[in-house]
């Protein structure tokens, strides 16, 4: 009995330590966090050589910036604006949706009367944007492809509008 308890304790310790080391970010969305631990990023990704590639980093500590064409431009984003954006993410259930929309599911009726689900992973044929929100040690990223999911695409458009005005 004592041997089994010892083996169980060792296995539990190994599992717990590997679990902590394997994940650089927490999977648990915090209910409270310091405002300075909020980071929202948007990165454009392009399959064509003509599109502008950029990276936006929005922080409450005043270190917000836009990186585009190998230039880093500081941005002035207020804490109120950052909180407003975070509330936008909550309103579209950002933290609950899948990380990518590359996977398409489709129901098909077979000749034998059975409905089956087909799952395809599609390559991104168009430009996409990666949106990440980090709150303390928690981080969630979603790829926006073909303006989907629509709610997150609207937030990206809002951020792009903000950076146009904040950079001036």
Per-residue pLDDT of the chain (168 residues), as tens digits, is 444 444 444 444 434 433 333 346 777 888 899 999 999 999 998 766 666 789 999 998 778 999 988 889 999 999 999 999 999 999 999 999 877 666 677 898 889 999 998 887 665 556 788 999 999 899 999 988 878 888 999 999 999 998 887 655
Tell me which residue has tokens 């804490």.
79
**Residue among 62, 89, 65 nearest 162 (CA):** 65
Euclidean distance between CA atoms 40 and 2, whole angstroms: 50
Task: Give the architecture-level CATH label for domain 33-166.
Answer: 2-Layer Sandwich (3.30)
- Closest by Cα among 68, 51, 57, 39 to 128: 51
Helix (H/G/I), strand (E/B), else coil: 118:
strand
Tokens 């929309």 label which residue?
A: 101
Domain range list for the chain: 33-166
Place of tokens 């230039």: 71
- Measuring CA to CA, which residue among 99, 102, 90 is closest to residue 151? 90
Over residues 14-58, the pLDDT tens digits come to 344 333 333 467 778 888 999 999 999 999 987 666 667 899 999
Separation CA 81–CA 63 (nearest Å): 14
- The percentage of the chain sitting over the pLDDT mark of 90, rounded to a whole number, equals 42
Question: 55 exposed, middle or buried (CB, 10 Å; 0-12, 13-18, 19+)?
Answer: middle
DSSP H or E stretch at residue 152: helix 150-166
């Amino acid at each position: 009995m004592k041997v089994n308890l010892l083996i169980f304790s060792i296995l539990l310790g190994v599992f717990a330590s590997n679990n902590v080391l394997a994940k650089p970010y927490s999977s648990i969305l915090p209910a409270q966090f310091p405002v300075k631990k909020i980071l929202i990023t948007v990165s454009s990704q392009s399959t064509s050589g003509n599109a502008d590639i950029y990276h936006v980093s929005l922080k409450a500590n005043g270190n917000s910036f836009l990186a585009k064409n190998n230039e880093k431009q500081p941005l002035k984003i207020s804490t109120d604006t950052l909180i407003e954006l975070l509330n936008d993410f909550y309103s579209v259930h950002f933290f609950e949706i899948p990380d990518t929309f590359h996977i398409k599911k489709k129901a098909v009726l077979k000749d034998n009367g059975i409905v089956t689900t087909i799952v395809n992973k599609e390559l991104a044929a168009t430009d996409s944007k990666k949106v990440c929100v980090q709150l303390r040690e928690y981080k969630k990223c979603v790829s926006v492809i073909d303006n989907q999911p629509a709610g997150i695409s609207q937030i990206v458009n809002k951020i792009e509008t903000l950076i146009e005005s904040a950079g001036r």
